[in-house]
Structure 1
Amino acid sequence: KEIFNLKLIDFENLENNEFFFIHEKPFTDQYNIRPDFTLFINGIPLAIIEAKREISEEEEDTYLNALRQIERYERENPKLFNFVQLGIGIADKNFYIPTYPNRDKEPRWKTRKVEIWKEETPEGEYKENIFGILKPEILTDLVENFTFFQAKRGSLNKVVARYMQYYAVNKAFKRIEDYLKGGNKNRGLVWHWQGSGKTWEIIFLAEKFYRRYYHRDAVVFIIVDRRELEDQFDEVLISLRNTKFVIDERKGARISSIEEFTEKLKLIKESENNPNVSAAGVHLVMMHKFRTDHLSAIPEGEIKKKEILLLRDEAHRTEGGPDAVFSAVRNHIFKNAILIGFTGTPVHRKENSTFETFAYPREGEFYLHRYFIADSIRDGYTVPLTFRVALSDFVKASVDEKEIKELINLYRENRDLEELSSTEREISKLLSFSKFLNSDAYLKRVAEYIADNLAVDTEAFTFKAMVAVQSRLAAVKLKRELDRILSQRFADYSPEWVEVVITYTNDDEIEIKEYLSEVRNRYGLTHPEEINKKIVESFKEKKNPKVLIVNRRLLTGFDCKKLKVLYLAEILKGSLLLQASARVNRPYPGKEFGLIVDLTGVSIENYKKAIQDYNLYEQKEINEDILKNLFKDSREIWETFLRRLEEFKNLFENITGLTLEEFSQKLTAKSSEDAKETLREVVGRVLTSDEGFYPLIPLLEEITKLYESLGGYPEKAKPKWRSIYKTLKTLQVAVNRKLKPRRVVKIPKEIEEEILKGVEFGEIKNLDELTLSDEVLEKLLNEGKDYLIISDWLIPLVNLLEEEKEEPLYRLIYKRLKKLQKEYREKALTAKQIVEELKGLTGQVKKHRKTLKTLSPSRRILKAISYYLRERGIEIPQKVENLEKTLEDLISNPPSEEVKKEVRKHLKVLLIKAKVPSKERERVVDLLMEEVILPYTRRFRGGA
């Protein structure tokens, strides 16, 4: 047999390919679908586009409509998504997502994150432009080099690069290409802030390099310096399913010993002289294996090969100084290799500079690509950080200044302070003392502070917290103190609330050994690292633990999106402080800020001062980015809350005629009936006012969230602000129970009962509960309270039909109700006209609901077809027996192409009798199948 390799897409010569798109191309699998646009390369569908209006009366966010449509396509036509790589939404928010078949009908919307795409301008800036991703050179590059399938927890996920990852990797790859074509620069630095996805950047670059230079026996070493990072990379590399490089699933990618590393180096040397020997591969190696005493078997300069790529994660660590040997060994063995470093926190000091090691600062090059704090926050890949300084008076009053000099070195390491003597006194006032941070008195105060603030800082334990302490012994002591105090504060407290993750050794103090014995018994495990791993997994995935206490563990590289609060009870150096702060900056629903609480009283302020005084990062714009965007003082957020509250007060008074203070007083009136009537009237005015829907309701959401996100900020606990918050929260709950009865609004436990007793807007399930009597209507109209008719009748009716929009008549009525709301706000109709129409629409719903109960499934579909066509001005004949029988077959059995073809045939006959023009018939049939018949048959069969 002859074997041919057929290349479907020419990635090297794009002009050899055919690029085109088709508008509303129908695809048939289990169901018919018709994406708005399908993009083809050489006849292969690689991307689909769903376009929605930027503003819709039906959707709060129209991009969600586009997303749901794409996800429906993945379920209903999985074969198509063997080819389609990207789904693109054009709406109020433009986005792209990786697409792949969803044969198991997974609810992907729960975990799926939509991505934005930005284009690089000639000035080196990035502007949002979703169509940039569809440029032939970018789309083909993404498909070839930046798309991975990942087997994870029994399912297959798909990863496609974000825009900053794409551009950073290609800047690094350009450096590689230029060098291998004869250039003299063979290193580079990618400086991306924490949370931008550097792990994937490293793997994307490894794949692109290995794929492009495979024929030249390409070798990649991914270099890490911590066991946790090695485990993380190995897990990801093993999980990948479509890479050019191959990883042995049993062994993994890691080089497990120095001897194995030495053998690999010898193989590389042998491959240089023998074309029949291949050293190609992607390997994971710990940095400590670069040891001069173990690698003497390789003479200096012996390996001349250029196609060796060294990818260094966390490039700021251990690259210089007397104890660092990696750079020296690399220069000894891999003189011609390519070195690319990745970091979010480069170090720049005299004896150790990330820029000197990985870039060309003397030539003005500090990095190949950067993605800073402000970029990451703006794009939504990280949340802003706020900080609070606590216990500073207690700390400063307790520090022994005679021993302060040793601590000066902590900040001296960030920069060589050439005139240290003139600054010692100033710095000593700010620095605390490490022995003090280990003392029982200090740790008791820390435990008391955390116990006082933990519930509010974590927003009623919606989020989680971490405590960084000065030593391993301090971690155990703090755990004991927190167990004691929290068990007194919380009735449901258990020891699993707070756990410790530290390194254990044979020389530990007796307290640490006793604690290890306890956790061994509690977890039924022997090895300390197995226990740590179990605790970390539970912290990330389960309700408990709620708090982790660590000492130099998990402060870098650890990713837990629910982690919101970091309590600092140790002094951290500049780069480690930046790394640690990034543990709480990952986005998560409802998380507005990450919170750093400096319990030493000095770390954050001193680091900011070090940036200002010593220009840590050489470039002014970099220092400013860190100062402005890394840590926002809680006072700034409080001041924002106060400003936005004033805006809310003015708007609220304009809409309701009440000041916020008057509203608050009426809510706390002795007569609960008076309070409830006041709340009902205020909610009615808010929901029926243009300014109520926007901007008052979004502003209400914003200021309550700002107040809650401030955690234990002292000012907010004053009775005045507490009372205002309770009033705002009561209004928020009441508005949402009217507007979105199925939405759960989080209420702090300590005020939940107080708020709910004044709010009785339950979900209306019965139409009879809705209808207002003629007497009540007349009374409301005469009193000028027509806004209550809208809030007590029209809006609940909209909510009632929200979940039943698949029913064509309900969809028609739903749309008319939404339009009525708008017409009321715009005063296009009188109150009486709206009341009359409301009566008619409510009557139609009641009648239709009663009729549906008497109909068989097939007759219900026929009724739906009739309403659907009537909406489009098409009247169908009475006799439809053949169609009804075929619909019964479709409902009773799994969908088959034959039955669906039969249904389509009868529909066409129906449309011919209704005198629908021939060129319109096919489209109407497709719409009926997609929007009426197939959704109904799925529902009646109990399918997705």
Structure 2
Amino acid sequence: MTERLDWAYESPVEERLIEQLVGLGFAYVPASELDKERESQREVILEDRLRAALQRLNPWLDENNLRKVLREVTHLEAASLMEANEQFHDKVVNYLSVQQDLGKGKKNQTVKIIDFDDPTSNEFVVTNQFRVNTPTGTIIPDIVVFVNGIPLAVIECKSPTITNPQAQAIKQLIRYWEQAERLFHYNLCVIATCNEQSQYATIGARSRHFGEWKDPYPLKIADVGESPTRQDVLVAGMFSKANLLDLLRNFVVYEPEGGRTIKKLARYQQFRATNKAIDRILSAKTPRERGGVVWATQGSGKSITMVYLSVKLRRIEQLENPTIIVVTDRTDLDTQISKTFLRCGFPNPQQAKTVKELRELLQAGSGRTIMTTIQKFEEYVDESGSRVLNEAHNIYALVDESHRTNYGGLAANMRAALPNACFLAFTGTPIDKEDKSTVATFGPYIDKYTIQQAVDDGATVPIFYQGRLTDMHVQGESLDKLFDRMFQEYSEDDRERIKKRYATEEAITGAPQRIRKICMDIIDHYETHIAPNGFKAQIVAINREAAVLYKEILDELNGPESVIIFSGGNDDEDRMKKYHLSKEQQKLYIERFKKPLKEDKLAFLICVDMLLTGFDAPILQAMYLDKPLKEHNLLQAIARTNRTYDGKSYGLIIDYYGVSGFLKQALSIFTDTDVQGALKPIDSELPRLQTRHRSAMRFFDYIRKDDIEACMKVLEPEDVRNEFDVAFKKFAESMDMVMPNPAAIPYREDLKFLGKVRQYAKQRFRDPEMDISDCGEKVKQLIKEHLIAQKIEILHDPVDILSSKFKKKLDEAQSDEAKASEMEHAIKHEIRVKLQENPVYYTSLRERLEQILANYKQRRIDDKEKAEQLQKLIDELRNRSKTIEDEGFEPHEYPFYQLIKQEMWSEYENNDDIKELTRTLLAEIDNLFVIEWTQKEDVKREMRSRLKKKLRISRCDREKVEWLPGEIVKLAEVHFRK
């Protein structure tokens, strides 16, 4: 790689990563060489290399079909980036089909774009500084990875010595896919790296979705090299040829979520568990040895792992079109996992509704994917006395929550019905006891993903606990004391008589006086700590009578809206029957509960046994626990609070029973490392609060708190501002968790000060991310009250650069430096907001601004001259309407004229001709505008077609005819929405 020495020392992170890829068998080709292969820098596919790969992998392909396949890959007709990405993924993974006669008549033939069976038959290329031109400018990703000429990965490298390198790399990647969509039509993943840190994500992700790849499976960490960095591990784990193609083929799903499509790429533990399971299946010496246990912590993506495994099982030829059975132990879980498979696009999963239907599906031949509950495996004996439903060896049963119901008669029925099947257990809480052992039942562990690992990876949030009203706890020796207090108004003889007959834990726990006191505490705690941030809660009662009492007292005290979810009995008294709900009613309440609090005020689910396992509601933050739970039941229950949700940094268990008092005993069936971090006392946040306070305040150690301009000077560099913002958010997160506990009082004034600085910075630097709106509600309210008291304007949007308010703001500036800073960031904001409306003009404006800033940085101009030159740009912005009018256009038409003028000036060189062409093209698409046309691909396709016809008979260059209509339609989407 000697040809790269000229830049090697400037970018050591880039250098290290490329050298590692070359070591994995990639060919390094400088971008300057690839540019010679491209017709222009707008092209993102290396078409000659793709053509060569298609001919190599499909030597029978004739020239006509070769052109057809090339066009299908290079010209994706899609309404959005995500739709194009999904289209390409389907073409490359499920192969294209063309009609061609190979000697036996014209038939559909399968075309491989990438050979997944033999990775070495593909071409793997890595390049750096690969320029891609767009209407809004040029992007230059640090590294692009190509397979057969197709750009599968984009990597942004930052020096670990700069401030907050990962945040900057991620921000840049997001800008890339927003500006240069075509490069990302084919993208598998993006990587942000600074060597010491390295994270990956898919298109559409935000910062919080980027994650590490921590395991280079099938390699060990030691195999990667001496003291490998996180970047080294990620590259080894994701970019070996076999792993990269495996990820592309088997570990990508597109899942509809909240009205949009989310692309999901496996996390490292999902990839590892799936492939370990496959390895065990293929290498087992006996059918029995194929099975085993996958321990995946609750909330860490267990269902999607089952999808990935099913996808891969279905593709392995030697398994001969296997039957896959997904087994749960509850109807709601069965429905939930069936929906997961369907949402992820898994082909034709069939949900067995009855015992009879399950038997029919199992006897109907191989190749089916069957979803069922274990209860449907009722004892079966045929006419000959056999209990076997299907004795095939290629049946794979994926058993969810395997710790609960796989040790008794139902499990025996299942295994008798499928004597040669492979049973793979998926659980968040395996049991390891002599009479009930998950491992003994299913086989040795295949893979483990522990609680602490999931928290460290951000797959789940940590869970804290707090014992409240400890004098109310029903635990051990406290039972007698609690009884005496609950029945103190009775005589001693009566108390003894009651105690002998009724003093059980359930009776004491359900005592009305006790529950009333707890209800008052729950309302106070919820309204003070949980509701302000928009989260919801569960109340877990010891029995159904206590659950009803909780509901009645909460309603009597005008507490937040609640509902009881429990199983009703026919013999229940009227008081209980009042709260009976049908299954459909329960579903409706649960759906209401999952909605944001501002949309639906249902705040509490009161339950006994239901909803403690398998229930998934990310908005649930707090569990008010008044019931003894042990072993796996405890882990299952508390894990309801560990799902990630916007703004949620932890789950919380409020313990009224005393469970936390025997936590160690309850978790003793697990090894220490497996349950490390399962529950943390809430007081453990205080040392972290102190550390985070210091990290946020250190930026202003030598500055007076009343000198706001000095604070702005500190935050002027974007990297420092990013670092401060991260520190502030972490400090605010800890404060929001601790407040209103008195332990937070020493930090309140500093929080107000930092909130004020952040508000000023948001307004000065027009930084949309520097806003208190992303803080917890308690923190937000404290800062707002402080800003109002100091008469500081709280603006949701920055002052418009063209308004009279902006001029007033400049007049208030205390120095030329402050004035120039205000103007600079106002112009940057205007460019950022308006760039899509007129890419040509605002790109030009950005270049002129950058020149002024470069002159200032090089001390060619001072603060006053900088302000004067910036004022000229602002004056130009203010006079734009007059300029547009003079040219004879409406404001919404002018951007099209500037785009066409920029691209076709060399062909026309006559302004009037360009104006006429602009009006002709606009008229061509004007009649196609209908309601919601931007969502209708057929309308946009027709627009592009008509524009191409007009451009072909103009003087437009042939290459531009191919891409210019797409840019015009994109511009129309901005200006002509209906």
TM range (shorter): 0.7 to 0.9
| Separation in 1, partners of 2:972, 2:389 | 71
Say which of 587, 592, 606 aligns to 1:533: 587
Q: Give 1:197's aligned residue.
A: 301
Q: Give 1:271's aligned residue.
A: none
Q: Which digits, 9 at most, give the CA deviation of each residue in 1:565-600, with x for residues without a partner?
A: 222222221212222222222222222222222222
| Separation in 1, partners of 2:971, 2:826 | 25
Does 2:330 correspond to 1:226?
A: yes
Q: CA RMSD in A?
A: 4.8
The 8 Å contact of residues 274 and 309 in structure 2, kept in 1 or not, is answered as yes
- The verdict on how the C-alpha distance between 1:596 and 1:151 changes in structure 2, with shifts beyond 3 A counting, is closer
SS in 1 for 2:473: helix
SS in 1 for 2:623: strand
User: In structure 1, what residue type is equivalent to 2:692?
Assistant: R
Say which of 583, 599, 603 aligns to 2:659: 603
Does 2:170 correspond to 1:63?
A: yes
- The verdict on how the C-alpha distance between 1:378 and 1:585 changes in structure 2, with shifts beyond 3 A counting, is same
Q: Give 1:88's aligned residue.
A: 190
Say which of 546, 554, 563 aligns to 1:499: 563
User: In structure 2, what residue type is equivalent to 1:204?
Assistant: Y
| Separation in 2, partners of 1:135, 1:310 | 31
User: In structure 2, what residue type is equivalent to 1:316?
Assistant: H
| Separation in 1, partners of 2:747, 2:592 | 36
- The verdict on how the C-alpha distance between 1:756 and 1:889 changes in structure 2, with shifts beyond 3 A counting, is farther
Does 2:689 correspond to 1:641?
A: yes
The 8 Å contact of residues 459 and 711 in structure 1, kept in 2 or not, is answered as no
The 8 Å contact of residues 292 and 424 in structure 2, kept in 1 or not, is answered as yes
Give the share of equivalent positions with the same residue, in percent: 22
SS in 2 for 1:450: helix
TM-score, scaled to structure 2: 0.71
- The verdict on how the C-alpha distance between 1:403 and 1:225 changes in structure 2, with shifts beyond 3 A counting, is farther
| Separation in 2, partners of 1:336, 1:97 | 40
Shift of 1:908: 7.4
| Separation in 2, partners of 1:934, 1:750 | 44
| Separation in 1, partners of 2:258, 2:385 | 42
Shift of 1:532: 0.7
Q: How does 1:560-709 map to 2 (within 5 A)?
A: 560-600=617-657, 602-611=658-667, 614=668, 616-618=669-671, 623-624=672-673, 626-627=675-676, 629-654=677-702, 656-658=703-705, 678=706, 680-681=708-709, 684-688=712-716, 693=721, 695-709=723-737
The 8 Å contact of residues 35 and 48 in structure 1, kept in 2 or not, is answered as no
- The verdict on how the C-alpha distance between 1:603 and 1:304 changes in structure 2, with shifts beyond 3 A counting, is same
SS in 2 for 1:539: helix
The 8 Å contact of residues 253 and 283 in structure 1, kept in 2 or not, is answered as yes
Does 2:339 correspond to 1:235?
A: yes
- The verdict on how the C-alpha distance between 1:834 and 1:189 changes in structure 2, with shifts beyond 3 A counting, is same
Shift of 1:337: 2.2
Does 2:372 correspond to 1:336?
A: no
Q: How does 1:162-561 map to 2 (within 5 A)?
A: 162-179=267-284, 185-212=289-316, 216=320, 218-239=322-343, 241=345, 243=347, 246-247=348-349, 252-254=350-352, 256-257=354-355, 259-262=356-359, 267=363, 278-292=365-379, 299=386, 304-320=391-407, 324-360=408-444, 367-395=445-473, 401=479, 433-458=505-530, 460-486=532-558, 497-516=561-580, 528-542=582-596, 543-544=599-600, 545-561=602-618
Shift of 1:237: 3.7
Say which of 800, 804, 810 aligns to 1:765: 800
User: In structure 2, what residue type is equivalent to 1:588?
Assistant: Y
| Separation in 2, partners of 1:686, 1:123 | 44
The 8 Å contact of residues 908 and 914 in structure 2, kept in 1 or not, is answered as no
Say which of 918, 921, 927 aligns to 1:887: 918
Say which of 83, 99, 110 aligns to 1:6: 110
| Separation in 2, partners of 1:145, 1:564 | 34
- The verdict on how the C-alpha distance between 1:186 and 1:687 changes in structure 2, with shifts beyond 3 A counting, is closer
Shift of 1:314: 0.7
Deviates more, 1:689-698 or 1:20-29: 20-29
User: In structure 1, what residue type is equivalent to 2:429?
Assistant: T
TM-score, scaled to structure 1: 0.73
User: In structure 2, what residue type is equivalent to 1:370?
Assistant: K
SS in 1 for 2:557: helix
Shift of 1:846: 3.3
User: In structure 1, what residue type is equivalent to 2:670?
Assistant: Y
User: In structure 2, what residue type is equivalent to 1:437?
Assistant: T
| Separation in 2, partners of 1:391, 1:57 | 43
Deviates more, 1:691-700 or 1:819-828: 819-828
| Separation in 1, partners of 2:166, 2:309 | 40
Shift of 1:381: 1.6
| Separation in 2, partners of 1:263, 1:599 | 49
The 8 Å contact of residues 502 and 551 in structure 1, kept in 2 or not, is answered as yes
| Separation in 2, partners of 1:814, 1:330 | 68
Q: Give 2:488's aligned residue.
A: none
SS in 2 for 1:548: strand
Q: Which digits, 9 at most, give the CA deviation of each residue in 1:479-516, with x for residues without a partner?
A: 222223345xxxxx6xxx32222222212243221233
| Separation in 1, partners of 2:631, 2:122 | 51
The 8 Å contact of residues 766 and 829 in structure 2, kept in 1 or not, is answered as yes
| Separation in 2, partners of 1:840, 1:904 | 40
Shift of 1:187: 1.5
Q: Give 2:220's aligned residue.
A: 123
Shift of 1:264: 5.4
Shift of 1:288: 2.4
The 8 Å contact of residues 48 and 86 in structure 1, kept in 2 or not, is answered as yes
Shift of 1:313: 0.6
Q: How does 1:795-874 map to 2 (within 5 A)?
A: 795-806=825-836, 807=838, 808-811=840-843, 813-814=845-846, 830-848=862-880, 850-852=882-884, 854-855=886-887, 856=889, 859-861=894-896, 863=898
- The verdict on how the C-alpha distance between 1:791 and 1:651 changes in structure 2, with shifts beyond 3 A counting, is same
Shift of 1:448: 1.3
Q: Which digits, 9 at most, give the CA deviation of each residue in 1:396-430, with x for residues without a partner?
A: 699764699xxxxxxxxxxxxxxxxxxxxxxxxxx
| Separation in 2, partners of 1:823, 1:931 | 37
| Separation in 1, partners of 2:847, 2:139 | 23
SS in 2 for 1:342: strand
- Structure 1 gap ranges (5+): 100-107, 268-276, 361-366, 405-430, 488-492, 517-526, 659-677, 910-920
Say which of 713, 735, 738 aligns to 1:710: 738
User: In structure 2, what residue type is equivalent to 1:392?
Assistant: T
| Separation in 1, partners of 2:137, 2:845 | 27
| Separation in 1, partners of 2:262, 2:172 | 22
User: In structure 2, what residue type is equivalent to 1:70?
Assistant: W
- The verdict on how the C-alpha distance between 1:10 and 1:91 changes in structure 2, with shifts beyond 3 A counting, is closer
| Separation in 1, partners of 2:730, 2:267 | 28
User: In structure 2, what residue type is equivalent to 1:439?
Assistant: A
| Separation in 2, partners of 1:680, 1:927 | 53
| Separation in 2, partners of 1:397, 1:584 | 24
Q: Which digits, 9 at most, give the CA deviation of each residue in 1:263-283, with x for residues without a partner?
A: 556x3xxxxxxxxx7344222
The 8 Å contact of residues 467 and 654 in structure 2, kept in 1 or not, is answered as yes
- The verdict on how the C-alpha distance between 1:587 and 1:68 changes in structure 2, with shifts beyond 3 A counting, is farther
SS in 2 for 1:206: helix
